[in-house]
Amino acid sequence: MEPKQAQDRINYLSRELTRHNQLYYALDAPVISDQSFDALLKELIDLETRFPEFKQPDSPSQRVGGEITRKFIVVAHKRPMQSLDNTYSPEELRDFDRRVREALGQAAPYVCEPKIDGVAISLHYKNGLLQQAITRGNGLEGDEVTANVKTIKSIPLRLTGDNLPEDLEVRGEIFMPKSVFEQLNHETRKTLLDEGLDEEQIQDRLWKNPRNTASGTLKLQDSALVAKRKLEAFIYYVIGDERLGRTHFERIQKAKSWGFRVPEAVSFCQNLEDVLKEIEVWKEKRAHLSYDIDGMVVKVDNIAFQEELGSTAKAPRWAIAFKYAAEQAITSLKEIYFQVGRTGAVTPVAQLKPVQLAGTTVKRASLHNADFIAALDLRLGDSVWIEKGGDIIPKVVSVDLNQRPKQAEAFVFPTHCPACATPLVRETGEAVFFCPNQTGCAPQKLGRLVHFVSKKAMDIDTLGEKTLHLFLEKGLVSTASDLYGLEAAMLHGLEGFKEKSIHNILAGIEASKKQPFHRVLFALGIRHVGETVAKKLAKAFPTIDALRAADETALVAVEDIGAVIAQSIRLFFAQDGNLRELQRLRNFGLCFLAKLEEQALAPDAPLVNQVAVVSGVFSQVSRPQLTAYLEYLGAKVTGSVTGKTNLLVAGENMGPAKRQKAEKIGVRILSEKEFIQTYGLPS
């Protein structure tokens, strides 16, 4: 193709694709099929690759991303990006209206529009071309995410229309449509299932809601990935002088004519009564929208009035967000069943007649404990109200007593473990019933293993709940230390286990031996010792023996460790079974010694300021243990012998070159035996 011809074609394709984008994304009125669109886009990309000199700065091909940004530049906002005051009550809305009227000395018409649940963005255009996109950040400065934003098809790269302002800033919300979110989670689930993860692990890794996902997506470093996530945007704020329009309503219409997508309905309301009606209308409508809204924004329409009202330090006085309370639904309680957790806690779960709530079907809800059931006086067959708080696990909030079936009897909490029939115990002052059969109760054993391998503990992601269940059932393992004794021959012949998956499982287990002490401590599943407590303990007591020796006074001296945690730790070390398990884990080479960054130094830190190298194979201690111990003694451990090295701890079979080099530059060399004689062994 001749260059001139190519240039004409590139210009034509760019224009056409921009027009179709707008028809599709801003006006929701496409005139060509997706395939035809893709064909035009492909032709444009091909031509631009061959004739890059003709690529336009606002080419629609930028929408497919590909730019890798290393990190985002922080940019100051020209004007702060404020947030909005919000309320859940019509009464407070009336107060807002009163304040507005008093300050202005007259009534002010409002506009009402959906409050989109996404991520705020500020967009800068120069002579109609998109220059810069900045996130809200802390309100004063945000991240420059232009390359990522350019992939969002409802944001025009070039504005259309006449009389465009030379400089323009608009603000709006980037969001992920519900269907895109569901599709993304559907695909993520498939991938994780293929990797052998179980339901709990999958739940852990799935995206939590469209807002978090949109926010995470905008921060991705690879804009090609952003393009795949199909984000969208609405513009709800046009900044500038009166030439842009004297009312918010006018400005939004203008933004629409320039090619922006604007909120579905920006309704004009003469007074507060109209506003309240509009809020009611949208309360119903919102469930059917293709994106999440968490309320309605009420704005004084007249820009001069807005300026007169001004802002507080945090939010404008001319706008307020009305938020809808969490959605509730009523359904009937079919059954209550009991789950036994890894600590033996028995949790009641409500089995419900499936019901739609905030866009998903709910079949189960947590009932917390026996007191919760008693307080609600729950009975089978009851009609119960359920609610989704912050879009996670739904909860039962109340019972409709008017609909209670006549024969419904009060619910009696079981006296024996539903899994192993051991009598349940309840400690004084505790709401939870426990099964005390720690070593024999199957769900507890499984729960402990699942916890042990979980992401924040030993992170053995090649072992899912299903696999662990099978290993327990086949008697291959009983406790965590048994995992380290597994061999390939023991797994051959298990249904569904091929050479490769066996290899992966064993490699995952082996790799976990490198996990630091605080993770091992967390993985042990000592009651009340969560991730943060484990870190604090590892810092205060850098070896497992120091922790074991600590009495209650020493334990509670640590920040955030109270009597309950201290007692639980003491109880753990008082049980022979736990001590045997610890010894086995230690023999398998797990790390029971804190690394420098997580521990206090040894009291006299004899190797402080020294650089040490560990090389070869050791018989009485594992390499990670030895490294951690050297750090505990104050040394910095590096990988190779250099002029800075002070000490080489030489195990068996170490490379002769390394030894020669160390000898040549006069590094102190200690064998394993000599080292232990001098410094002792990590306990």
Residues that bind ligand IVH (CB under 6 A): 82-84, 113, 115-116, 120, 173, 236-237, 263, 297, 316, 319, 321
Report the residue number, 44 or 269, with the smaller CB distance to ligand IVH: 269
Q: Which of 78, 115, 126, 535 is flagged as catalytic?
A: 115
DSSP string, 261-295: ---S--EEESSHHHHHHHHHHHHHHGGGSSS-EEE
Please identify which residue in the block is written with the tokens 């309240």: 276
- Paired sense of beta strands 319-323 and 74-76, if any: unpaired
Please identify which residue in the block is written with the tokens 């004009």: 268
Please enumerate in sequence order all residues whose Cβ is within 8 A of that of 362, keeping only pairs 6 or more positions apart, or say none. Answer: 329, 331, 352, 354, 355, 356, 386, 388, 394
Taking the complex as a whole, the smallest distance from the CB of residue 157 to ligand IVH amounts, in Å, to 22
CA dist 559 → 535, 536, 554, 572, 593 (Å):
11, 8, 11, 20, 20
DSSP string, 559-586: TT--HHHHHHHHHHHT-HHHHHHHHHHH
Report the residue number, 116 or 483, with the smaller CB distance to ligand IVH: 116
Report the residue number, 174 or 602, with the smaller CB distance to ligand IVH: 174
Please enumerate in sequence order all residues whose Cβ is within 8 A of that of 25, keeping only pairs 6 or more positions apart, or say none. Answer: 153, 154, 232, 261
115 carries an active-site annotation: yes
Token readout for 170 is 């608009």
Report the residue number, 236 or 572, with the smaller CB distance to ligand IVH: 236
Rounded to an integer, what distance in angstroms lies between the CA atom of residue 265 and that of residue 286?
12
Pair 458, 511: CB distance under 8 Å: no
Taking the complex as a whole, the smallest distance from the CB of residue 680 to ligand IVH amounts, in Å, to 59
Q: Which residues pair with 615 in a beta bridge?
A: 650
Report the residue number, 297 or 352, with the smaller CB distance to ligand IVH: 297
- 3-class SS of residue 64: helix
Taking the complex as a whole, the smallest distance from the CB of residue 69 to ligand IVH amounts, in Å, to 23
CA dihedral 365, 370, 376, 377 (to 10 degrees): 120
Report the residue number, 10 or 320, with the smaller CB distance to ligand IVH: 320
Taking the complex as a whole, the smallest distance from the CB of residue 172 to ligand IVH amounts, in Å, to 8
Q: Which residues pair with 321 in a beta bridge?
A: 86, 297
Residue spans of alpha helices (H) in 51-195: 90-104, 146-149, 178-194
End-to-end CA distance of the chain: 76
- Paired sense of beta strands 129-135 and 119-126, if any: antiparallel
Taking the complex as a whole, the smallest distance from the CB of residue 139 to ligand IVH amounts, in Å, to 9
Rounded to an integer, what distance in angstroms lies between the CA atom of residue 630 and that of residue 622?
12
Taking the complex as a whole, the smallest distance from the CB of residue 282 to ligand IVH amounts, in Å, to 12
Taking the complex as a whole, the smallest distance from the CB of residue 270 to ligand IVH amounts, in Å, to 19
Half-sphere CA count of 39, side-chain side, radius 13 A: 5
Report the residue number, 84 or 613, with the smaller CB distance to ligand IVH: 84
Nearest residue to ligand IVH, by Cβ distance, number only: 120
Report the residue number, 202 or 279, with the smaller CB distance to ligand IVH: 279
Length of the chain, please?
Answer: 683
Taking the complex as a whole, the smallest distance from the CB of residue 262 to ligand IVH amounts, in Å, to 9
Task: Identify which of 568, 580, 528, 341 has the alpha carbon closest to the alpha carbon of residue 441.
Answer: 341
Please enumerate in sequence order all residues whose Cβ is within 8 A of that of 446, keeping only pairs 6 or more positions apart, or say none. Answer: 342, 465, 468, 469, 472
Report the residue number, 115 or 124, with the smaller CB distance to ligand IVH: 115
Rounded to an integer, what distance in angstroms lies between the CA atom of residue 237 and that of residue 260?
11
Taking the complex as a whole, the smallest distance from the CB of residue 134 to ligand IVH amounts, in Å, to 13
Taking the complex as a whole, the smallest distance from the CB of residue 293 to ligand IVH amounts, in Å, to 8
Rounded to an integer, what distance in angstroms lies between the CA atom of residue 522 and that of residue 525?
6
Pair 438, 453: CB distance under 8 Å: no
Report the residue number, 236 or 522, with the smaller CB distance to ligand IVH: 236
Report the residue number, 48 or 113, with the smaller CB distance to ligand IVH: 113
Largest Cα–Cα separation, the chain: 93
Taking the complex as a whole, the smallest distance from the CB of residue 316 to ligand IVH amounts, in Å, to 5
Task: Identify which of 480, 475, 436 has the alpha carbon closest to the alpha carbon of residue 454.
Answer: 480
CA dihedral 246, 247, 251, 253 (to 10 degrees): -120
Report the residue number, 82 or 132, with the smaller CB distance to ligand IVH: 82
Report the residue number, 266 or 352, with the smaller CB distance to ligand IVH: 266
Taking the complex as a whole, the smallest distance from the CB of residue 319 to ligand IVH amounts, in Å, to 5
Rounded to an integer, what distance in angstroms lies between the CA atom of residue 558 and that of residue 536?
7
Answer left, alpha or beta for residue 113, where phi above 0 means left and psi between -120 and 50 means alpha: beta
What is the dihedral sign for C-alpha 138, 139, 140, 145?
positive
Taking the complex as a whole, the smallest distance from the CB of residue 255 to ligand IVH amounts, in Å, to 12
DSSP string, 463-529: --HHHHHHHHHTTS-SSHHHHHT--HHHHTTSTT--HHHHHHHHHHHHHGGGS-HHHHHHHTT-TT-
- Which of the residues are catalytic? 115
